[in-house]
Structure formats: C-alpha cells, structure tokens
Chain A
C-alpha cells in the first residue's frame, strides 16, 4: 500500500525530468513552470497553515522579500542572482522570525488579521521607499547573466528550460520538506499545536518556538518562490508580489487541494494554474462563443472577450467560497470521503447479501 504512492511519485518525477526533451513548445514549458511555482507556494504555506494550523494570509511578505531582495541586489549592487538570492532568503526568514515572535502570541482570527497587517506594511514600504524599490513602477530585470562555475558556463537563461529544471528542483525540495515534517517529531509537535494549543502547551510543547520553526521553514521556501518568480518573469512591483491577492493565492492552492497533506497543494496547483491559464488564453470566452451563448461580434461578446481574460481573481473568489462551503477538506479530502462512502456502501451491501 505504502509502496504505490512512492513508485508513482518516482515515475512522475522521471517523466517530468524527461519532459523538456520531448516538449519544446515554450508555452507548454511556461505553464509547467507556473505549475511548479504554485506547488512551491502551496507546499510552503502548508508547513505553517496545514501542519501547525496557523492560517497566515500574509505570505506575500516573505514572497515579496525574496523577490525584491534578489532583484534589488542584482540591479543596484550587481550581485548575480544565484548569490543574491541567499541573503534575500535569509532576510525573509529573519524578518519572519521577528514578526512571528510577536504575532504568534495571537490566536485564530487575531493572528490572521495580524498577518495581513504585516504584509500590508511591507507593501506600503515597497510602494513608498522609491529610492530603493522604484515604488509603484517596480523593478524590471535586465538579462540574467549566464551561470558560471569555476569559469565554465553551466547554463544561460536564453530558453525556458533552465527555469523549468530550477522550478522542478524547488518543487521537489518543498514537497520533500513537507514529507520530512510529516514524518518527524517536529511535525508531531506542529500537529499537536494545530489540534489543541492548550493541550500541547500543557504537555510542554513550547508553542511560540515550534510555530516559529514552522514559519521559518515556510518563509524559506516562500522567499525562494518569490526570487524564482522575480527572475523568471523579470518584473516585480508591489501589486504583483506583495498584495493581499498574492497572499490569498498561497492559501487557496492549499485549501483547494486539502490542507495538512503532502498531495493537497499539488492538487490545488493542478486545479488553479490550468484554470487561470485557460482564462488568460480566452478559452472560456471561446467556449461561450462555440456554444452560441453569445455572439462574438456583439457588444456582449466583445465585452466577454476583453474582460474574461482578467477574471482569474473572480474565479479565485468563487473557488474559495465553493470549496469552503462544499468541500472544506479540499478536493483530496472530498475524493477520500467519496471512496470511503463507496466502500462502506459496498460493505453494507455485502453484509446484507450474506444475511439474507
């Protein structure tokens, strides 16, 4: 039973490693890279939100610090990104620990509120500290220098393939981190805090310490995700890396799949990324025209074509409401519930059959 998921994961990994050899379409690679990014985001949020039960809606803060730190070092100090990302990530983890030491004394909704306020402070600083961050204009990267080790060019970033492998590596690392958390004493402490803080505390679990450890792991990968996003997209501004919408995305990926599980954020990413890409590529409006629900040239049709491409945030909101109302344990939890119900029904039918 145990071996099957492991085998499947290995097969999936092998397929993903081989994929760029078979698929050369830049768009397909682009979607895969976005998918990896979403997996990293969801899995890193999951360490704190899923296992420890601390629903941060302020992860944009660590994402933004990773993104801004790396790009600012590159633009203004000419530090190559693969060196610059380390101080940026360290800064994010350090800031997270300071913030965590203060806000982890708060519980439930108060913690959620505090996490949003902290991220807003970071956004406002980035917006107003124009000398360092370019304010609302954001930072546009020039071309990335090729990665050299001991004078040899290992890779340049002319195609999407290096980003593909970097994203895959980061995604695998964050998944591995979740696995390690789930199967360690640390993870048991996290889950004890999630289930009942007071009971955990009375058992001698240092609440703030363990929450901070979870946050540090979470912020570490989140900041990496931010740096990866910044280098891949080549442009950041306070709205795209530090806004509440970004924070919501972290939560959404985990919630949709199912929080507190390793597969949950992967499932969430698999739902969310293709959906928003389909919207962006006008697949939804095309489908509406094909089904003759609206005429392409009518004012309504033109309106749909213009606007549905930007509707991904609307879809996020709808998904959030639907998931919380109808599948609070996420798609994975929902599917497990279905399987369990099937089995019980089958067992009941069998019992009935043998009784009669």
Chain B
C-alpha cells in the first residue's frame, strides 16, 4: 500500500508537467488544427535555455521560467510565421511531416552546436526530498508541480476572463464564425502557437533538474504529449490536464511494479487502447 501511494503521488507530480506539455500541444491543435510534431523538441530547446541560464548566469531553473517562457513565445511566433503558417490548409499528413522535419532540424542543430553529450543540471535541492505523511516527496518535482499548477490556473483565467482568451476559444470552436465576428484568426494563430511554444519551453525548464539534457530528449516528450492529448481529447485543455495526470500515474505505477525501462510501453499501449476504444478521448469530440 505504501508503495502504491508513493507511486501515485510521484506520478501525479510528474503528471502535472505532462499536463503542461499536453496543454501547449492541444492549444495549438485546437486553434490551428495543426498537429505539432516538434513539440518535444521545443521542450528540449527550453531545457537547453534553462541549462545555460543556470550554468552561465546562475539563474535557478524554476526562476528561469520567467526568462524561458517569453523567449520561447517569440520563437514560436517566428516559427509559425516562417513555416507553419504555410501549411495551414494542407493535408494533415503533410503538416505532420513538416513538423517532424522542424523537430529534426531543432534536435540536430542543437546537437551540432552543443554536441550530443548528456548534461545534468544539479541544484542544491536536486536530490532533496521532504516527508509528507509518510510519503517522500522529491523537492524539484514538488516545486515544478506548484509552478505547473500556477501556470495552468493563469492560463485558464486568461482563456476564460480576457477578450483575447475568448477570441482564442472562439477560433478553436469555429474558425469561420470567429472570423465573421471580427476575430483576426491569423493573429490568434500566431498567439496560440507562441503560447503553445512558451508552455513547452516552461515544461522544459521545469523538468530540467530531473531529466538528462541531450538533443534527442524531445522525441520521447512529443509522443508522450500526444498520448496525454489523445487521452483527454484533442483540443480540450481540461482533457489535457486530466490526461497528463493519468499518464504520469500510469508511468509511475508501471515503473514501481514492473521496471522503469518498460514504463513507456504501458503508456503507448494505453494510448493505442484509447485510440481504438474512444478515439475522441475522455473529453473531446470524435475526429476519426
């Protein structure tokens, strides 16, 4: 029972970050109907930014979110402008291949510049943990969960309370109707891609104290982000939040009861299962 509780708690903590990755992806998909296969690579870029902010400038990884998120937002806007914009009406397959290409460019450009060596960002609290009611909670995971929760809450408030947030939701719901209502959907697309990229970068900053940092780390996160999003329902932000927590927990349980090497197999099997049984996900509309 102790093992079970322990696994669930650390699964939920990790799942918070997965949720954040998924929210970025689902936001991009919801507004632009583009599946971004470079999402994990964007996260990887966020990890490198965080790593160098820490080693060169001495900025704590959790504080560097304030630096990484705006930088990544700009990067996302540029990427959207230069590349993604051009395939908005194209076949979904072509969009997928294009974003896979973008991901390859990012990971290999990073490899070219920073080599493929594994980097470790170790802070004073990297291996620290606190006991909460008999359960040990890793300090970096706990901090990152708190920040994730704050970012998610802020994003919800932004989407629900503000005019721009409403325009984003309107565009996601019905692009043409939103356009007829005077929403500049092109600009909303830029904003959504920027936001999604900023969220991926934020997630990268948050995981950097607990993961190895290397150029190819992104692809695992891309696939995981999809599992999260498909589980919750493509385009649903609440769905992505739920999906992230579920995937984190499944992974953590699989790691405790089987082995951490094969925990991802469980995640992908769950993914295939959900795709087949309810492709619309837990909270989304069917897009079979």
Contacts and interface: CB of A to CB of B under 8 A. Distances in A.
Contacts of B287: 110
B262 A107 contact: no
B276 A102 contact: yes
Nearest to B220: A120
Interface in B230-280: 230, 259, 261-262, 264-265, 268-269, 271-272, 275-276, 279
A82 B271 CA distance: 37
Interface residues of A, number: 42
A311 to B, nearest CB: 6
Interface in A72-119: 102-103, 105-110, 112-114, 116-118
Contact of B94 (A106, A116, A328): A328
A207 to B, nearest CB: 12
Given A102-B272, A248-B100, A325 B83 contact: yes
A345 B135 CA distance: 77
Contact of A109 (B35, B261, B265, B276): B35
Interface stretch (A10-18, A121-129, A267-275): A121-129
A248 B90 CA distance: 19
B279 to A, nearest CB: 6
Nearest to A54: B93
B105 A317 contact: yes
A57 B35 CA distance: 14
Interface in B157-174: none
A102 B276 CA distance: 7
B101 A324 contact: yes
Interface in A212-242: none
Contact of B97 (A55, A118, A127, A244): A55
B100 A318 contact: no
B226 interface: yes
B16 interface: no
Contacts of B223: 116-117, 120
Nearest to B269: A121
A108 B34 CA distance: 12
B97 A317 contact: no
A331 to B, nearest CB: 15
A321 interface: yes
B101 A128 contact: no
B109 interface: yes
B264 A110 contact: no
Given A114-B275, A128-B262, A55 B96 contact: yes
Given A128-B259, A324-B87, A328-B90, A317 B102 contact: yes
B100 A57 contact: yes
B87 A125 contact: no
Nearest to A313: B108
A120 B97 contact: no
B261 A55 contact: no
A103 B106 CA distance: 30
Nearest to B270: A117
Nearest to A306: B115
A307 interface: yes
Contacts of A118: 268, 272
Contacts of B92: 108-109, 112
A314 interface: yes
B102 A307 contact: no
Contact of A127 (B35, B104, B219, B261): B261
B288 A106 contact: yes
A285 to B, nearest CB: 12
B181 interface: no
A38 interface: no
A314 B86 contact: no
A112 B91 CA distance: 13
A317 B96 contact: no
A120 B100 contact: no
B276 A105 contact: yes
A289 B167 CA distance: 53
B217 interface: no
A321 B85 CA distance: 13
29 contacts: A55-B97, A103-B272, A108-B93, A109-B93, A112-B96, A113-B271, A113-B275, A117-B227, A118-B268, A120-B264, A121-B269, A124-B264, A125-B262, A125-B265, A127-B261, A128-B261, A255-B97, A313-B107, A313-B108, A314-B109, A317-B103, A317-B105, A318-B101, A320-B100, A320-B104, A321-B83, A321-B98, A325-B83, A328-B90
Interface of B: 35, 83, 86-87, 90, 92-94, 96-98, 100-109, 111-112, 115, 219, 223, 226-227, 230, 259, 261-262, 264-265, 268-269, 271-272, 275-276, 279, 287-288
Given A110-B230, A114-B272, A118-B272, 8 more contacts: A55-B96, A103-B275, A113-B230, A244-B219, A311-B112, A313-B104, A314-B104, A321-B98
